[in-house]
Amino acid sequence: MKSLNTDQHGHLQNRQDWNQQVAQQLADTDHIILTDDHWALIRAVQDLFDETGDTPPMRLLIKVLRQRLDPAIDSRHLYRLYPDGPVRLASKHAGLPKPKHCM
């Protein structure tokens, strides 16, 4: 297991350190097994971050996921993937900073 340089919340300090293996390692620390649905969410969060320079709030994330992936996606779907906080954990596993709007 590679030693990761993270902040006090477990988010990578340097996004350039991110890759799929690192994402899996971060997910392992949260006891999450990444599925195809997790990876789609991770990629969407990364894309939104690249487009806006910030992690998306839940409502914007759902709107974008509905447009890009599946019109049926809702907050329940995201909470099934990440029961302890979809935006925070998806951002963490995507190698992004802790969202400003998350506790």
8 Å CB contact between 91 and 45? yes
Q: What's the pTM value of the predicted model, to 2 decimals?
A: 0.91
Task: Select which of 4, 58, 69, 102 is catalytic.
Answer: 102
DSSP 17: G
- At 3 the pLDDT is 80
Q: What is the mean pLDDT of residues 5-13?
A: 91
Q: Please give the average per-residue pLDDT across 34-59, as a whole number.
A: 94
Q: Is 102 assigned a catalytic role?
A: yes
The structure tokens 């894309």 sit at 47
pLDDT of residue 43: 95
Summarize pLDDT for 42-52 with one digit per residue, the tens: 999 999 999 99
**Tokens 């099934």, residue located:** 80
Strand, helix or coil at 6? Answer: strand
As a whole number of angstroms, the distance between CA 62 and CA 71 comes to 9
Confidence band (pLDDT; 50, 70, 90) for 1? low
Domains observed in the chain = 36-103 (1.10.10.370)
